[in-house]
Structure 1
């Protein structure tokens, strides 16, 4: 198993443990949390057992149903003033596009530092984040087409943008392999 696969497996297992811990601490049944998150009971059970690889949107739905943010479920917890984080592959598709969470703030609503890679011709369609959420994006290679509210902008290496991500939006790599850094600042 490769290092990336080990990290992805560790992420899925940690996510499952954290979802179960928070659900039980909140006195919720699996069915109650599944209903609040808009998921099937079976899917939530598989996530808690670490046997499902949920989408970013699914993890976000569970986080909101638990009253926390994405980072609270996905990043290892620490109260240390300085913490070195291991990169965690959170999403990958069959084309080889992927999203890696590098670090997340320790407080709810803290920033999240992501590295994304989109293969040529690939696109990621995102669901709206909670009201007030913003992203800062810096393209490091390739061409990124960022679309929100039916407005598309093309970013080349070195260009950056601010996106109000509380609406439907997408990332696309029309021609080349594209990499970009994404800092998400969730609503508090």
Structure 2
């Protein structure tokens, strides 16, 4: 298995890395030489990534981000999209269907919880607001989950996700006749 991002697959995260790396490096006031020294990544590799001509490992992106005081997500996301809606391929294996997709991110400082949820037809879960700064990340595995926030309902079919601040009243509903299955991450 490979942890390398390949530049020939331009539909994935590398389509944003080159511009983000250059922009963030310049914003931090670092030259390519200074970034190479601070990160331990060769200047030649940095030049190649900024030009969109090099393949780079995920761990090398982490090192570059740490050297500039930014996150991995800052380097890989589309600058025109929010960090809660990234939806970018960040890893490809040998097989056509072997991919890792970074769906989104939320700030964390204390704790992260992962839950597996199921709601049968007609079931509803009403949540009380979490403390300020908490977030939820849901990913629907099977069925259609209806999420209610601020009185607005949104339907999320299998394969979709949602990331939102949970310092508000919200509810999970299953308005269908089939059981809905989803993963819920709570991030504090």
Structure ID, larger Rg: 2
TM-score (norm 2): 0.49
TM-score (norm 1): 0.49
Greater helix content? 1
